[in-house]
């Protein structure tokens, strides 16, 4: 792996919990170039020839293996769009750890748009973990726009755990998942905004197959003068089950809109949505403050627990 600066190493720890070269398959992208790559016996990583990005090909029957594909940007004014395709064979059980970190110490905007497409084979299980993080003392913006498209074959399962830690000035997140018969998804989204940051999150969950199931849980914290908009949509086209839950803690002068939607094209579809926006309860703060915490420490403890 190429030598990384201390700032870049810190970003890798933040977004992928990497303290050293990972075992197994990995691809580390830095400022548009490869900083390290390794394929394993069952997971092959190949550069695309027609556009920036990689193909991650996971052989049928691969189990208890992982692949890391973090992206770090440390160059101010750098902007990119990257296309990554995941082809997961049948009967797999794998962990995929992605994420993007931007350190911007200048006055120009740094931006990463990531387009990830998953094809998950029959009866396979995938856990996908993605973290976004921004830092740097510069005035230039840090922008991330992830787009994730998932196609689940019969009996397949994907758990998506996506987190925006902090420091991202603007993000537009788009997620679309199409489910075949007997397939299932669990989508966990955690997001924090502060200062004047803006975040939009659009989700489309299409339950095409009989007995497909989807659960969406979105939790966010809006601080300062930040703005958040959530629009999760679940469409039932067969006998299926879908549940959407959006919970937000709003603070200071922040603004939040939550617009969950459910749509049924089948009489046997069972779809539920719920949304809640509110401030931190006073009794929660009081209880922690009686234990010796300051109000700020109590708020931070509550927020940390809420976003876990």
CB 138 within 8 A of CB 76: yes
Give the three-state DSSP class for 18.
coil
CA pseudo-torsion sign 103, 85, 88, 162:
positive
Q: CA-CA distance, 198 to 255, in Å (whole number)? A: 10
- Whether the pLDDT of residue 1 is over 70: the answer is no
Q: CA-CA distance, 84 to 3, in Å (whole number)? A: 24
- The DSSP secondary-structure symbol of 20 reads S
Confidence at residue 21, expressed as pLDDT on a 0 to 100 scale: 73
CB 182 within 8 A of CB 211: yes
- Residue spans per domain, the chain: 6-282
- Whether the pLDDT of residue 173 is over 80: the answer is yes
Work out the end-to-end distance of the chain between its first and last CA atoms, rounded to an integer number of angstroms.
31
- The DSSP secondary-structure symbol of 121 reads P
Q: Which residues pair with 245 in a beta bridge?
A: 217, 274
Q: Mean per-residue pLDDT for 110-124?
A: 98
Q: Which residues pair with 109 in a beta bridge?
A: none
Confidence at residue 97, expressed as pLDDT on a 0 to 100 scale: 96
Tell me: the pLDDT tens digits for 285-304?
Answer: 888 888 888 888 888 888 88
Nearest to 177 by CA among 215, 212, 211, 148: 148
Q: CA-CA distance, 138 to 249, in Å (whole number)? A: 28
Based on its alpha-carbon atoms, the radius of gyration of the chain, rounded to whole angstroms, reads: 20
Element (H, E) at 301: helix 295-306
Q: CA-CA distance, 118 to 98, in Å (whole number)? A: 13
Cα 46 to its chain centre, rounded Å, is: 23
CB 207 within 8 A of CB 240: yes
Phi and psi at residue 4, in whole multiples of 5°?
-110, 150
Tell me: the pLDDT tens digits for 4-24?
Answer: 888 888 888 999 887 777 888
Q: Which residues are within 8 A (CB) of 296 and not within 5 positions of it... i.e. 6 or more apart?
A: none
CB atoms within 10 A of CB 82: 19
Tell me: the pLDDT tens digits for 30-79?
Answer: 999 999 999 999 999 999 999 999 999 999 999 999 999 999 999 999 99
CB atoms within 10 A of CB 95: 16
Tell me: the pLDDT tens digits for 177-206?
Answer: 999 999 999 999 999 999 999 999 999 999
Tell me: the pLDDT tens digits for 200-237?
Answer: 999 999 999 999 999 999 999 999 999 999 999 999 99
Q: CA-CA distance, 216 to 203, in Å (whole number)? A: 9
Give percent of the chain above pLDDT 90.
Answer: 81
Cα 74 to its chain centre, rounded Å, is: 21
């Amino acid at each position: 792996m190429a030598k990384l600066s201390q700032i870049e190493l810190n970003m890798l720890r933040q977004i992928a919990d990497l303290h050293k070269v990972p075992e197994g398959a990995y691809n580390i992208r830095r400022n548009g170039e490869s900083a390290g790559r390794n394929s394993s016996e069952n997971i092959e990583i190949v550069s695309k020839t027609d556009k920036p990005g990689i193909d991650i090909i996971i052989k049928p029957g691969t189990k208890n293996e992982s692949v890391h594909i973090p992206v770090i940007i440390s160059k101010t004014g750098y902007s990119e769009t990257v296309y990554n395709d995941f082809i997961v064979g049948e009967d797999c059980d794998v962990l995929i750890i992605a994420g993007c970190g931007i350190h911007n110490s200048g006055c120009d905007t740094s931006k990463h748009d990531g387009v990830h497409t998953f094809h998950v084979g029959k009866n396979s299980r995938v856990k996908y973990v993605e973290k976004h993080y921004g830092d740097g003392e510069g005035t230039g913006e840090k922008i991330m726009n992830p787009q994730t498209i998932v196609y689940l074959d019969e009996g397949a399962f994907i758990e998506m755990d996506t987190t925006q830690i902090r420091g991202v000035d603007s993000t537009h997140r788009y997620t679309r998942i199409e489910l075949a018969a007997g397939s299932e998804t669990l989508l966990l989204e955690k997001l924090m905004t502060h200062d004047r940051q803006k975040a939009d999150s659009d989700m489309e969950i299409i339950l095409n197959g009989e007995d497909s199931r989807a659960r969406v849980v979105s939790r966010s914290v809006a601080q300062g003068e930040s703005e958040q908009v959530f629009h999760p949509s679940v469409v039932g086209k067969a006998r299926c089950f879908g549940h959407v839950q959006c919970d937000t803690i709003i603070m200071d002068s922040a603004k939040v809109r939550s617009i969950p939607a459910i749509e049924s094209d089948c009489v046997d579809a069972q779809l539920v949505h719920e949304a809640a926006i509110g401030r931190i309860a006073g009794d929660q703060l009081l209880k922690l403050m009686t234990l010796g915490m300051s109000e700020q420490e109590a708020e931070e403890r509550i927020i940390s627990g809420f976003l876990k």
